[in-house]
């Protein structure tokens, strides 16, 4: 009978596929203790069999000059995009890596024992990891089952601890149906919608900070991914809105506290624009108010109001389900009802730390490449910074503190070391290296190189190390052929445009030289210089272009914005049009007294308006009334909330934020909270009016 160590050696050689292993293996099994084929030592060079072996890795003969030992993490979503560190022996600078039959295109050779790669898409289940140095077939090695593609993933993969996020659970080769059950952290979804046999929409329950398991059970088939969703202290922008079937006698309204996610027990639901004739119900302990009436067979205005909370109104609701999240009014008079006023987001999340190196092209194999930034002049300094992916492509570029700069003097074996704090989750980071001058105000930063790393797992109170960012030059230019609205009085008077890099579902990279603001009317095209080639680590990304007509040097309202267009080439100019005309509030007008029930707006010439949003703010910004109206312009009537204790807007000055929005393929029946915010609009025009409430 073969010895235990002979069987162990057999498993290893089957896994790594050594060409001469079969004859050597036969002799080992036949003759007893294995002999190392390189050194001739008895026992094959294995360490003691009782020694600890890290999870996800296998014992191999130390004499094998080429091997694949394991992957960290050892699993990830089937749509790919996760950063993976593959360990082994004998990797050269031209090392290649395959996940099953799919070759990875984004490989960073850290050293002879480690590769960093972005996992390509694959089929659910385990796959073999295979490496080879260039065309040298003698270096080809494989690790059977070295990486496993999860059968499902969540999009978005994170949300606030208060819950309420609509999470798409996407499966591969699944047969989900009405009997399917889904949970997050062993808690059932607040609501679960089966979109298709491979897609569910789960409204996340309230949770606790950290990475949590997502589990879907369909009959006898159960799929669990332990770290598929992360609860964090942030606003996700997906909560609430309109859904369901057309109104047919029944209306269900769900109402929750926007900070804690708790049901607003006793909140008033007013269906109609006149309180005297409206249907009125109260929210129960589950956060639901159910109204049934024959009159609920055509679009209705739905308002939810509650003591010490800001009200919300959806005008002309055509569907049978409305979900709202009301902001608490954090004033001393309301503190008694809340106990201790909650913090924004419902809780805090312990941050993790990400450590790694910026890797510039090397002159010699496995040597540190030079810091690819020109020599400074005057007060300039050569620096680099690492940023988390942004959620908004229109976000202004902001330099981090000078203390976080990565300089040419930074340590590192393969590149230049960095360390930064991050919220937990599956994160994407990008790096910019360039010349900085902080002696001027505002500080100036011109980027020459850029890098990107996706799918970095971050856990609270832990360090994620060995994150390598492959730096590439920024040497492309993109031109905009724009048609902004003409200048007006009091505005707009200038054209503000910016270019960001869309990183797929991971967010955006913001460029320091990605913003320009020439005066209106435009005399020439607008050109941006310093963009990356969409290859290597940037493959699958797109250039996201947004533009706005703004007023004054602070780029203020009145303004009109085209949120984003995307392209994957710089070969042709991008046409920017579709601006919405300037909005004008007719009722109430500037400095006029408002009766709290009537609003009227008109829009100037421009693209059609899909949605009008009013945010009426008072009480020094602590209370506001959010009103959503389908279409653009016209007059609306709102219910008088003075009879609801603590829910009516207080007397005094008010500021009305007026927005007209345009969306691609808009359907008011599926309106989400994200679409009520400018970040979720494809184009919008905005202005503000001051008035007062008696």
Q: What is the pLDDT of residues 82-116, one digit of tens each?
A: 999 999 999 998 999 999 999 998 899 888 899 99
For residue 58, pLDDT beyond 60 = no
**pLDDT above 90 as % of the chain:** 65
Quote the CA–CA distance of 299 and 205 in Å, as a whole number: 30
Residue in 338, 507, 351 with CA at minimum distance from that of residue 420: 351
What tens digit of pLDDT does each residue of 360-398 get?
Answer: 998 887 789 999 999 999 999 999 999 999 988 888 899
- DSSP 3-state assignment of 537? helix
Task: Indicate yes or no: pTM above 0.75.
Answer: no
Mind giving me the DSSP string for 562-616?
EEEEEES-SSSPEEE--PPPPEEEEES-TT-B--SSEEEEEE-SSSPPSEEEEEE
Quote the CA–CA distance of 240 and 313 in Å, as a whole number: 12
Residue in 508, 531, 513, 517 with CA at minimum distance from that of residue 482: 517
Quote the CA–CA distance of 525 and 521 in Å, as a whole number: 11
Residue 614: pLDDT band by 50, 70, 90 thresholds? Answer: very high
**Cis, peptide link before residue 450, omega less than 30° from 0:** no
Which residues have C-beta within 8 Å of that of residue 178, sequence separation ≥ 6? 194
What tens digit of pLDDT does each residue of 339-366 get?
Answer: 454 444 444 557 899 999 999 998 887 7
Instruction: Give me the CATH code for the 583-693 domain, please.
Output: 2.60.40
Instruction: Give me the CATH code for the 4-149 domain, please.
Output: 2.60.40.10
What tens digit of pLDDT does each residue of 488-539 get?
Answer: 888 899 999 999 999 977 889 999 999 999 999 998 999 999 999 998 889 8
Quote the CA–CA distance of 467 and 417 in Å, as a whole number: 10
**What is the pLDDT at residue 212?**
92
Question: Per-residue pLDDT averaged across 17-35, rounded?
Answer: 35
For residue 297, pLDDT beyond 80 = yes
Tokens of 223: 């799929």
Quote the CA–CA distance of 163 and 680 in Å, as a whole number: 20
**What is the pLDDT at residue 348?**
52
Mind giving me the DSSP string for 114-176?
EEEEEPPP--SEEEEEEEEETT-GGG-EEEEEEEEEESEEEESSEEETT---EEEEEESS---
Provide the pairing of β-strand 542-551 with 319-326.
unpaired
**What is the pLDDT at residue 46?**
35
What's 403's DSSP letter?
A: G
**What is the pLDDT at residue 341?**
45
Range 152-232: architecture per CATH: Sandwich (2.60)
Name the least confident of 17-21, 642-646, 659-663, 682-686: 17-21
Chain CA centroid to CA 690, Å: 35
Measured in degrees and rounded to the nearest 5, phi and psi for residue 362 equal: -95, 150
For residue 37, pLDDT beyond 50 = no
Q: What angle do CA 655, 659, 664 make, to 5 degrees?
A: 160
Tokens of 316: 């002309």
Question: Per-residue pLDDT averaged across 643-654, rounded?
Answer: 84
What tens digit of pLDDT does each residue of 425-437 get?
Answer: 889 999 999 999 9
Quote the CA–CA distance of 73 and 81 in Å, as a whole number: 12
Chain CA centroid to CA 509, Å: 12
Residue 210: pLDDT band by 50, 70, 90 thresholds? Answer: confident
What's 605's DSSP letter?
A: S
What tens digit of pLDDT does each residue of 510-520 get?
Answer: 999 999 999 99
Residue in 447, 442, 435 with CA at minimum distance from that of residue 407: 435
**What is the pLDDT at residue 22?**
34
**What is the pLDDT at residue 29?**
32
Which residues have C-beta within 8 Å of that of residue 74, sequence separation ≥ 6? 55, 56, 146, 147, 148
> How many Cα atoms occupy the beta-carbon half-sphere of 62 within 13 Å?
10
| CA max distance for the chain | 100
Measured N-to-C along each axis, helices 21-31 and 4-16 cross at an angle, to the nearest 10 degrees, of 170
Residue in 219, 187, 215 with CA at minimum distance from that of residue 200: 215
Quote the CA–CA distance of 126 and 75 in Å, as a whole number: 8
- 586: left (phi > 0), else alpha (psi -120 to 50), else beta? alpha
* CB of 636 closer than 8 Å to CB of 616: no
**What is the pLDDT at residue 539?**
87
Query: What do you get for the CA distance between the two ends of the chain, in Å?
Result: 96
* CB of 662 closer than 8 Å to CB of 684: yes
**What is the pLDDT at residue 7?**
34
Token match 């829009």: residue? 603
Quote the CA–CA distance of 659 and 687 in Å, as a whole number: 7
461-486 in b/e form (b: 16+ CB < 10 A) is: eeebeebbbbbbebebebbbebebbe
Quote the CA–CA distance of 386 and 390 in Å, as a whole number: 12
What tens digit of pLDDT does each residue of 224-280 get?
Answer: 998 899 887 544 445 689 988 999 999 999 998 887 778 899 999 999 999 889 999
What's 81's DSSP letter?
A: -
Quote the CA–CA distance of 270 and 322 in Å, as a whole number: 12
Quote the CA–CA distance of 480 and 516 in Å, as a whole number: 11
What's 519's DSSP letter?
A: B
Token match 């991008």: residue? 574
CB atoms within 10 A of CB 672: 17
583-693 and 152-232 share a CATH fold: yes
- Listed by start position, the domains of the chain span 4-149, 152-232, 474-556, 583-693
Provide the pairing of β-strand 187-188 with 152-155.
unpaired
Quote the CA–CA distance of 264 and 251 in Å, as a whole number: 17
């Amino acid at each position: 009978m073969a010895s235990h160590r002979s069987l162990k050696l057999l498993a290893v050689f089957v896994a790594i596929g050594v060409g001469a292993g079969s004859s050597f293996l036969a002799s080992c099994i036949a003759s007893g203790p294995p002999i190392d084929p390189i050194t001739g030592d008895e026992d094959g060079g294995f360490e003691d069999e009782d020694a600890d072996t890290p999870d996800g890795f296998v014992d191999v003969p130390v004499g094998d000059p080429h091997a694949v030992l394991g992957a960290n993490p050892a699993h990830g979503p089937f749509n790919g995009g996760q950063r993976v560190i593959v360990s082994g022996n004998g990797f050269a600078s031209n090392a290649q890596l395959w996940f099953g039959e799919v070759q990875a295109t984004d490989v960073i050779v850290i050293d002879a024992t480690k590769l960093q790669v972005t996992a390509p898409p694959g089929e659910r289940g385990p796959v073999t990891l295979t490496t080879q140095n260039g065309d040298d077939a003698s270096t080809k090695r494989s690790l059977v089952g070295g990486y496993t593609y999860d059968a499902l993933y969540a999009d978005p993969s994170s949300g606030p601890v208060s819950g309420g996020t609509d999470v798409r659970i996407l499966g591969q080769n699944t047969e989900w149906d009405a009997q399917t059950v889904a949970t997050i952290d062993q808690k059932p979804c607040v609501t679960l919608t089966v979109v298709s046999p491979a897609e569910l929409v789960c409204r996340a329950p309230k949770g606790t900070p950290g990475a949590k398991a997502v589990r879907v059970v369909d009959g006898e088939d159960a799929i669990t991914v332990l770290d598929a969703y992360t609860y964090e202290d942030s606003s996700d922008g997906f909560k609430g809105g309109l859904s369901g079937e057309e109104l047919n006698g029944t209306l269900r309204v769900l109402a929750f506290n926007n900070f804690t996610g708790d049901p607003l027990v006793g909140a008033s639901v007013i269906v109609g624009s006149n309180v005297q004739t409206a249907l009125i119900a109260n929210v129960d302990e589950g956060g639901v108010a159910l109204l049934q009436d024959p009159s609920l067979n055509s679009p209705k205005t739905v308002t939810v109001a509650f003591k010490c909370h800001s009200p919300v109104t959806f005008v002309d609701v055509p569907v049978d389900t409305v979900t709202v999240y009301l902001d608490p009014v954090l004033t001393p008079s309301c503190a008694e009802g809340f106990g201790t006023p909650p913090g924004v987001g419902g809780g805090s999340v312990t941050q993790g730390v990400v450590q790694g190196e910026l890797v510039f092209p090397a002159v010699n194999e496995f040597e540190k490449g030079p810091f690819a930034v020109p020599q400074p002049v005057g007060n300039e300094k050569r620096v680099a910074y690492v940023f988390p992916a942004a959620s908004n492509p229109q976000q202004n570029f902001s330099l981090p503190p000078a203390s976080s700069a990565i300089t040419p003097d930074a340590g590192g074996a393969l590149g230049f070391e960095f360390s930064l704090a991050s919220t937990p989750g599956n994160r994407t980071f990008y790096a910019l290296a360039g010349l900085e001058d902080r002696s001027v105000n505002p500080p100036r930063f011109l980027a020459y190189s850029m890098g990107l790393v996706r799918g970095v797992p971050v856990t609270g109170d832990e360090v994620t190390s060995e994150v390598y960012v492959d730096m590439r030059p920024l040497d492309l230019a993109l031109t905009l052929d724009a048609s902004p609205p003409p200048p007006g009085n009091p505005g707009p008077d200038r054209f503000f445009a910016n270019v960001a890099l869309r990183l797929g579902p991971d967010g955006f990279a913001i460029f320091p030289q990605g913003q320009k603001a020439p005066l209106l009317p435009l005399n020439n095209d607008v050109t941006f210089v310093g963009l990356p080639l969409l290859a290597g680590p940037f493959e699958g990304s797109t250039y996201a272009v947004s533009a706005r007509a703004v007023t004054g040097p602070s780029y203020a309202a009145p303004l009109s914005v085209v949120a984003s267009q995307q392209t994957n080439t710089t070969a042709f100019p991008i046409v920017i049009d579709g601006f919405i005309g300037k909005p004008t509030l007719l009722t109430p007008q500037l400095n006029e007294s408002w009766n709290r029930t009537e609003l009227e707006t008109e829009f100037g010439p421009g693209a059609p308006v899909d949605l009008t949003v009013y945010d009426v703010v008072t009480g020094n910004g602590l209370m506001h009334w959010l009103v959503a109206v389908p279409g653009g312009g016209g007059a609306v009537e709102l219910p008088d909330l003075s009879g609801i204790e603590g829910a009516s807007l207080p007397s005094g000055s008010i500021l009305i934020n007026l927005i007209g929005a345009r969306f691609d393929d808009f359907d008011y029946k599926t309106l989400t909270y994200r679409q009520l915010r400018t970040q979720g609009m494809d184009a919008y025009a905005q202005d503000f009016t001051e008035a007062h409430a008696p």
